[in-house]
Amino acid sequence: MSAVQAALPPKRVASDQTPPAAGKAWLVLIVLAVAMAAGNIMLGVFSAVQEQAKAELGFSDFQMSLLNGLAVSLPLAALAIPVGLLVDRTVRVRLLFWTAAAWTAGTLLTAFAYSMPVLFIARMLGSVGANISTTIAISLAADLCLPEKRGRSLLLLTIGKYAGAGLAFAIGGWLLGYFIESGGLIGLAPWRSIHLVLGLASLLFVAVLAFLREPPRMETRVGPQAPLREVFRELLGYWRFLVPLFVGQIGVLMADAAATVWAAPVLARSYGVTPQEFAGWMGAVIFGAGILGAIIGGIAADAGHRTGRRGGILIAAIIGSIIALPAVLFPLAPDTTVFAIALFVLLLGGTITGLVTATALAVLLPNELRGLSIGTFLAIGGLIAFGVAPTLVTIVSGLLGGEDQLPMALALVGGVVSALGCVGFAVAYRMAPKPVR
């Protein structure tokens, strides 16, 4: 028993609750998965058309890295922990509604942003919605099913996330070609028209989220109203496990973030293909890796948990990080076919590790620590992965000789951080706590 548990009077908390009926639970899970997809479409479509935005605005690679990196990570660093605490203590479906409103506002503002500061703010709003909503969705999904089925519930969220990431490229490329041929809306450039259309469509989904109901909380230990100092003290008790776990996932996430940000520019510059030409298969690669990785990760996480072996839930994360390691060389591929295969393997490994990490937090930590731990991860991991990785690639390319060295820089950065991820997961496996019962 921890010091926190000993300090509190015995009382019955929400651990005696049972999840909703299967049919109702799956309906809510589908809505949450669609929310993940919508948020990632709104945030990710800019990456698909960033070369057109760069040309119109006259920006450099460094400026684009700030829009795709720092603008995305700053909201995570500032808000992830406070939102994580709110997730553990307040009505989560209301938080989800407001995050969806944020990504919608960011998408619409992007359509009318003509300066770096305004576009930076628009990207920050998109990040608040798409990334902060992850904490909320995982917490909600964890309370919709029993622990031994939690990996499969998070599987659906992961599918939604990568469906959104894939559709961002597919829809972005298709709409870009359409608006180039037909002309933009109300005099806007094609890439701006895409954001306007998607932002208006997102308004409809925001209305749907207003009807979600809050599920009962399960598996609490110190109770959702415990003093914050007690909650933080309880969280610190897991530091030997959480630190290497975060290092492992941050390393993998850095490689994936750099890849998704710079894959389109590398294709355009090194292989001479346009977004209209690569958007379809790029979207299929991202979506396919997300689907397969989610299935493998969800099944493997549940299987590892059922073994009762300490740390068994993380075995798939170790294997996934090792599989992804050689695939960081995708920007140096001899042709687009090898490029696509290697990128698929890289994202596949990242999807597996991401789902296993989320499942481990949802299974190995008590309810009142899940939002805080996920929020802490998003704050630290988001700042490093999204804020540092894309810009680090531009710094390395500059040291190597300039923007023409972008492919080599992307491969070097990806290799170093992916190796770090493998080590982190191996240590976390040895330090894993026993599952919460």
| Per-residue confidence (pLDDT) for residue 74, from 0 to 100 | 83
pLDDT tens for residues 171-222? 888 898 899 888 888 889 999 999 999 999 999 888 888 888 887 776 555 4
Distance CA 397, CA 412 (A): 10
Q: Within a 10 A sphere around the Cβ of 23, how many other Cβ atoms?
A: 7
Q: Are the C-beta atoms of residues 301 and 229 closer than 8 Å to each other?
A: no
Tokens of 273: 């293909």
Maximum alpha-carbon separation in the chain: 69
| Average pLDDT value over all residues in the chain | 82
Distance CA 122, CA 319 (A): 37
% of the chain beyond a pLDDT of 90 = 31
CA angle 183, 187, 190 (to 5 degrees): 50
Three-class HEC string of 192-229: HHHHHHHHHHHHHHHHHHCCCCCCCCCCCCCCCCCCHH
pLDDT over 90 (residue 117):
yes
Distance CA 252, CA 306 (A): 25
pLDDT tens for residues 5-56? 333 333 334 444 555 555 577 788 888 888 889 988 998 899 888 889 999 9
* Nearest residue to 138 via CA among 357, 380, 381: 357
pLDDT tens for residues 335-393? 999 999 999 999 999 989 988 888 888 778 776 676 677 777 777 777 787 778 888 99
Tokens of 392: 């680090």
| Per-residue confidence (pLDDT) for residue 150, from 0 to 100 | 61
Q: Within a 10 A sphere around the Cβ of 194, how many other Cβ atoms?
A: 29
| Per-residue confidence (pLDDT) for residue 15, from 0 to 100 | 45
Domain range summary for the chain, segments of one domain joined by +: 18-431
Tell me, yes or no, if the pTM score tops 0.75: no
| Per-residue confidence (pLDDT) for residue 368, from 0 to 100 | 63
pLDDT (average), residues 238-251: 88
Candidate from 25-34, 112-121, 142-151, 311-320 with smallest mean pLDDT: 142-151
Under CATH, which number does the domain 18-431 receive?
A: 1.20.1250.20
pLDDT tens for residues 264-318? 889 988 998 887 788 788 888 988 888 888 888 878 887 877 777 777 888 989 9
For helices 367-400 and 336-364, the axis angle rounded to 10 degrees is 150
| Per-residue confidence (pLDDT) for residue 366, from 0 to 100 | 74
Tokens of 61: 């690679």
Amino acid at 253: L
Phi, psi of 61 (to 5 degrees): -60, -40
Q: Are the C-beta atoms of residues 407 and 328 closer than 8 Å to each other?
A: no
- CA 31, 34, 40, 46 dihedral sign is negative
* Nearest residue to 247 via CA among 85, 98, 127, 425: 425
- Distances in Å between the alpha carbon of 341 and those of 33, 174, 293, 338, 409? 26, 22, 14, 5, 20
Q: Round the CA-based radius of gyration of the chain to a whole number and report it.
A: 21
